[in-house]
Structure 1
């Protein structure tokens, strides 16, 4: 079945609505991209649906939609497992302007998810099931009872466009009777890209995510989060080729039996490319798998 963005959004909405039947309190995700240590209690299940849009590159049009449908389970009060089904829809047209990337053409179509075999002079649109992920989070210390909460995170992903192994160090501190949350994730990942010619192209990345969220009303929280991103052209953080910074707001709303979070990250000017990756930078920003804007919406429902 051919997947369009309309079908992808409709699928996410229908699936979320179909699972909205519990009266238990949800383990909330107050941030867009930062993982916190608010895990599911032992024996509890939660459904979570995410929809992300990466939009706008140096020229032309670029929209990369990704949806992640997740089930979480509390194995113990400090150990959580989850599984994801990942899907995508990519729409790109004339979205590069760097002549090094386009060779003799003034513009060409590219970006993450656009296969190297695609004719760069033509628009590209394709969607489908990307693959699946497994996730494990172990909480070493709880930020509710300790000055600093610490957790370990591991997520392998198998997909049509890439395979990835991602690890995170989760840090969190709560203040003002838990109304203010400060959180950070240190993210390291090894990837093998499959949509590029000859396939299985190795990459790695290092992200430092930091953010704050403040509950300013009984059901409402808002804050800010930032991403300091580093890309490498080899596994295990060797040969850095990109550096970029993103920052933006988040907002979170929670009822007793469901919650929703929205966030936006904006790529600041000043990103750099180096070590052979210069063709992926222009207008003081980093392209390839990146964009000017990143939006995410997440909704969660406990299931028991």
Structure 2
């Protein structure tokens, strides 16, 4: 094939890709507009956004410069710089679904409404959120990761791995299809609630972890909350030391929690569960250990780090 032919093929491929991407973006924009309209009707919030972009290769929808306001208000209450949804597939559970929200902030109007309920440190922060779900249809294993951070203040993360989750995933699709078909009767809702309870009880936890990390101003946040209660950091540590004497936990666990409250730098908690054990079975196995903190922590392989 000569250079002219190669150039022609390359241009045709490039034109085809551009055309497919244009159509995909056009379709994505229409779907997003429809979903936003449904959200507004169900919640009473008006949603505005400046741009929708869809990547066909990564199956990712991105919205930018989003704002929320009530239908009675002229001013936005919440602004979001960027929203990203990756891997979502209608009618099935994707092997990987990832939701990202970047730069969520409260507007001055909402800050004024929530000033008494929300510490100033949190009201003025920008928030980022990441939620990831992995699912192996062949094995029924799933993993959920969730992280939310207030920039320059604090970061919270959670990681949960589950086995035998196929019933729960199938039920989610069943519920989605049922709602897409129209209004759901009370009888159908009750049936779904019963199925959901059964699916949750059959889940088998594998491991679980939580982490709370200082991103710079966690102590300022704690001091602000304490001040509202008429306390300071030293008084908090003294109160905690007294309360810990009556807490059913090992000395290592107590020390880790006290170290975190003292340093406000990092708190990590992780545990592992017996294989092929449902939540219901796990609850029955934990009952006899309730009065023995050391045995309970060993059974769960509980690990707590605080500093």
* Same fold flag (TM > 0.5): no
Q: What TM-score do the two structures reach when normalised by structure 2?
A: 0.29
Q: Which has the higher helix share?
A: 2
**Structure with bigger RCO (C-alpha 8 Å, 6+ apart):** 1
Q: What TM-score do the two structures reach when normalised by structure 1?
A: 0.29
